[in-house]
Structure 1
Amino acid sequence: MVEQYHNYVNGSWTDAETGESFETEDPAAPAEIVAEYQDSGVKDAGEAVKAAADAQDEWADTPAPERGAILRATATILTDRKDELTKLLTREEGKTHAEAGGEVQRAIDIFYYYAEKTRDLGGSVKSASGPRTNLYTKNEPVGVVSLITPWNYPIAIPAWKLAPALATGNTVVLNPASVAPGVALEIFDALDEAGLPDGVANLVTGPGSTVGDAIINHDDVDAVSFTGSGEVGHMVYDQATDDGKRVQTELGGKNPTVVTDSADVEEAAEIVANGAFGVTGQACTACSRAIVDSEIYDEFVESVVAQAESIEIGPGDEYDMGPQVTESELEGTLEYIDVASNEGATLETGGGRPEGERFGDGYYVEPTVFSDVDNDYRIAQEEVFGPVLAVIEVDGFEDGLETANDISYGLSASIVTDDHTEAERFVREVEAGVAKVNDKTTGLELHVPFGGFKRSSSETWREQGDAGIDFYTIEKTVYDGF
């Protein structure tokens, strides 16, 4: 029996006005349908925004700790359902069971975190220049917020947008990516059970080109938070800012790990492989460029190839690396592999679809390593979004840092070195929103800001931690003469 999901609008589960629906498939076994969703239209989006606008004042006036209590209850409900959410995420997106479970736990932790932050929301007290005046600031919600989220972290990213928005008194409309929306809808089921008032949070499934566009451009929307591709994100930014809306976009990456001649080669190869091949390379922070000193280049290539070849591919409930999420994503990865070979890069391992009974018609691709890559090759400049690593040879630290920065993206970057001076200079000079030392490019703490430089972000507002609260609030200065 295929699970049937509905939109969540004004506290009710509703069918799309279009009367249409769409299905999602298991990327490990595409013939298996996972769930059915509403293929919504502009009218459905408008109803959701209206519900959010009607509920905004009352939600903003709700004491912040009371809002926090609902977020806390939501986290508890999600905790009770962690196993079933993990299975759903694996079936719909393709992550391994361990990766999916980690992502569900992150969403739970985010709701707990912002539930506690509601106790500390407020402003600051300042000294007035004159007598009999209390001078202070207070933080108020932005208003109605449109949230547009991608498929690659289908529960974590909705959580880290929803939780701070609701904690600070905003009402929201979420349009999740159609490839894997199930776990986002399960968040709303938990919010509903936790007692969230009608209209405060709304979810409408359907194409971003229709539903997403409608909730971005609606006159009652005050702010937009978007995570997705650079091409779409720049259009979203232009549309929203033309209407005077507050906008936050987090986009792609082409993330480097610089490996210096002082690094432990085996450790470096493990760090790079974990960053490149984890979640099947389908992370905006995935390591796609290993920039390696010539003194250890050959040894590193041999070691990282061994790491890649040790990964067991198969369905996410049993193996180390699952499939890509859709056939089109798989085709895109295979196309880039062909491009890299034609440009002159050397294919060291992988490069195709694995063969064997367990793979069936699943969207699997082998972990792939290219050596002899020039940094101006397309494989080194364009986001692949698959388990493909380009290894680039450089002559010393200076050359490595310059190569790391010679890119239009700037999301995450790391260095593997035993030299403190190199590490400190890398952190200071690398052009990336996240800089790591002796660690993989992936993996983020929820209580610190996240965002990129250059084409990886609008460079307006960061997400997560206190920065997440900043985006969803406006500061008012008050002169009180009583």
Structure 2
Amino acid sequence: MSEVQVTEKKHLNFINGEWTGVELGSFDVINPATGKVIANVPKSGKKETDEAVEAAHTAYQSWSKLASTERSQYIRKVAEIMHANKEELAKIMTLEMGKPLAESRGEVIYAASFLEWYAEEARRVYGRTIPGKSANNRIQVVRQPVGVVAAITPWNFPAAMITRKLGPALAAGCTIVIKPAESTPLTAMKLMEYCEEAGIPNGVVNLLTGNPGEIGEAFMSNPKVRKVTFTGSTAVGKQLIRQSADTVKNISLELGGHAPLIIFEDADIEKAVQGAIASKFRNAGQTCICVNRIYVQSSVYDKFITAFKEAVSRLKVGNGLNDGVDIGPMINKAGYEKVEKHVQDAVSKGAEVVIGGRGEIINENVCYYQPTILKDVSADMVVMNEETFGPVVPIQRFETDEEVIEYANNSPYGLAAYFYTENVTRGTKIMESLDFGIVGWNDALPSTAQAPFGGMKESGIGREGGIEGIEPYLETKYVSLGL
């Protein structure tokens, strides 16, 4: 893709059905695989944010009253357009965030699945009738949309993290203003084009790019924004919680993780290796639920490492648009430097590099890191205590089930955890003991539209996906009628 200008329709804000922002300053969107500027997008602030919120607030008056069957048809149409344009959207995603094209295609399908699911759930927003307190009393419980939603999304899944919020919001009858990550706004803008093509009424779906602090503060201070949904770091999530207090906003947060993978002596080692590869190295390890630390029982420790090393050695690093590439670039230099710091700390404290352990900074905007296995790690190493967000796997041995549960749960995070065992009794006890919102038992890729996604402890508030995913977008009204 050649360099494009901000005057192109698809690289502008989308507010009240219009593509705006030509007059604003702009910032560059850079391909992390080449360092080339692929677009310039508007540098919006409070004024534009308030305009988008006002548009959503006005549109809410009619959208919230639309029949659920009609909202369902609009949502389903956007999903159909996504499928029809899978290659276009996947290429944009790879260009702006670097993941291999095959992964981007998979994300398009995954992202569309949330729209398909919530197109159906729009029809299933049920209330209920409760027996009255007297013969002349009737009680009803009514579910209504919460109002205008502000959605702040991350760079690592630029399509799915939007549709996972957009689908239930529209299904519930809410309108929405989306602020995508600065690194990956182009996928979001393309989704807005699809919403426009689907005929969604003006103001129902809005998007703007710009200063994250200024836009976020404008969201939080505006009383017309009744709900904020955010996926990102725990530090920012805590800040949003504090800011939400002044207007008592409904808030949903999907925050950081530090996922353990436990491999027991009775595990299917081949299956465990395949799962570890799929989870850890997807998106170059830049995912919130990817395996971040592995614990292997001593009796199969060497066997697992040998098989794992062999599988990792076949992974190819490079530009995500090239055939056969399994791991793309780091999103930026800061991400690369964090990975390097974690590896160096581990090695200095006695860990051994089994494979990888090095990277390459091609220039300020292009960094690659080799898939890396560290063995003989210990609990005092940074890599075992912080989310690495890169293609590095530290492996620690353990002896007993009780010991490894203590290791796994010893974290402020509780988003996802994984384990491999063929023993149903052991697996049931382990599953019940893990303090994580998502648990993969012999399954390292558990995410799906029909299941509730979210974490415990400092990994967030609320759930996305499943029947639970629409709940945060609904208010409960209790009506007591005297006859």
SS at match of 1:61: coil
Give TM-score, length-normalised by structure 2: 0.94
Provide the C-alpha distance between the structure 2 equivalents of 1:42 and 1:129, rounded to a whole number of angstroms.
49
Aligned-pair CA distance for 1:268:
1.8
Aligned-pair CA distance for 1:481:
4.6
RMSD of aligned Cα (Å) = 1.9
Please give the residue correspondences for 1:208-287 in structure 2 after superposition, counting only pairs within 5 Å.
208-287=212-291
**Range 421-430 or range 186-195, more displaced:** 186-195
Partner of 1:334: 340
Aligned-pair CA distance for 1:445:
1.2
Aligned-pair CA distance for 1:242:
3.8
Q: In the alignment, does 2:36 pair up with 1:35?
A: no
Aligned-pair CA distance for 1:354:
5.8
The answer as to whether partners of 1:265 and 1:300 remain within 8 angstroms in 2 is yes
String of CA shifts for 1:172-197, please: whole Å, max 9, x gaps. Answer: 11110010111111111111121111
**Range 264-273 or range 291-300, more displaced:** 264-273
Q: In the alignment, does 2:450 pair up with 1:447?
A: yes
Identical columns (%) = 34
Partner of 1:462: 463
SS at match of 1:428: helix
SS at match of 1:423: helix
Aligned-pair CA distance for 1:128:
2.4
Provide the C-alpha distance between the structure 1 equivalents of 2:298 and 2:246, rounded to a whole number of angstroms.
49
Partner of 1:7: 13
Provide the C-alpha distance between the structure 1 equivalents of 2:365 and 2:127, rounded to a whole number of angstroms.
56
SS at match of 2:341: helix
Provide the C-alpha distance between the structure 2 equivalents of 1:177 and 1:21, rounded to a whole number of angstroms.
14
Q: Which structure 1 residue ranges, 5 or more long, are not aligned?
A: none
SS at match of 1:296: helix
**Range 67-76 or range 324-333, more displaced:** 324-333
Provide the C-alpha distance between the structure 1 equivalents of 2:82 and 2:266, rounded to a whole number of angstroms.
45
Please give the residue correspondences for 1:410-429 in structure 2 after superposition, counting only pairs within 5 Å.
410-429=414-433
Aligned-pair CA distance for 1:54:
1.8
The answer as to whether partners of 2:145 and 2:475 remain within 8 angstroms in 1 is yes
Provide the C-alpha distance between the structure 2 equivalents of 1:373 and 1:352, rounded to a whole number of angstroms.
17
The answer as to whether partners of 1:16 and 1:44 remain within 8 angstroms in 2 is no
Change (3 A) 1:361 1:476: closer
SS at match of 2:29: strand
> What one-letter code is carried by the residue in structure 1 that aligns with 2:372?
T
SS at match of 1:29: coil
Aligned-pair CA distance for 1:360:
12
Provide the C-alpha distance between the structure 2 equivalents of 1:264 and 1:144, rounded to a whole number of angstroms.
48
Provide the C-alpha distance between the structure 2 equivalents of 1:362 and 1:2, rounded to a whole number of angstroms.
17
Q: In the alignment, does 2:71 pair up with 1:67?
A: yes
**Range 59-68 or range 337-346, more displaced:** 337-346
Aligned-pair CA distance for 1:207:
2.4
Aligned-pair CA distance for 1:216:
2.4
Provide the C-alpha distance between the structure 2 equivalents of 1:58 and 1:474, rounded to a whole number of angstroms.
17
The answer as to whether partners of 2:72 and 2:119 remain within 8 angstroms in 1 is yes
Provide the C-alpha distance between the structure 2 equivalents of 1:417 and 1:113, rounded to a whole number of angstroms.
31
Provide the C-alpha distance between the structure 2 equivalents of 1:24 and 1:360, rounded to a whole number of angstroms.
14
Provide the C-alpha distance between the structure 1 equivalents of 2:380 and 2:73, rounded to a whole number of angstroms.
52
Aligned-pair CA distance for 1:16:
6.0
String of CA shifts for 1:149-206, please: whole Å, max 9, x gaps. Answer: 0000000011010111111111111110010111111111111121111111111101
Provide the C-alpha distance between the structure 2 equivalents of 1:345 and 1:112, rounded to a whole number of angstroms.
46
Please give the residue correspondences for 1:319-468 in structure 2 after superposition, counting only pairs within 5 Å.
319-353=325-359, 362-440=366-444, 442-457=445-460, 459=461, 461-468=462-469
Q: Which structure 2 residue ranges, 5 or more long, are not aligned?
A: none
Change (3 A) 1:96 1:119: same
SS at match of 1:222: strand
Find the partner of 2:81 among 77, 80, 85: 77
SS at match of 2:369: coil
SS at match of 2:443: coil
> What one-letter code is carried by the residue in structure 2 that aligns with 1:12?
E
SS at match of 1:43: helix
> What one-letter code is carried by the residue in structure 2 that aligns with 1:294?
S
Provide the C-alpha distance between the structure 1 equivalents of 2:16 and 2:269, rounded to a whole number of angstroms.
56
Number of residues of Structure 1 aligned to a counterpart in Structure 2: 475
Find the partner of 1:116 among 102, 117, 120: 120
Aligned-pair CA distance for 1:79:
1.6
String of CA shifts for 1:130-162, please: whole Å, max 9, x gaps. Answer: 335443211111111111000000000110101
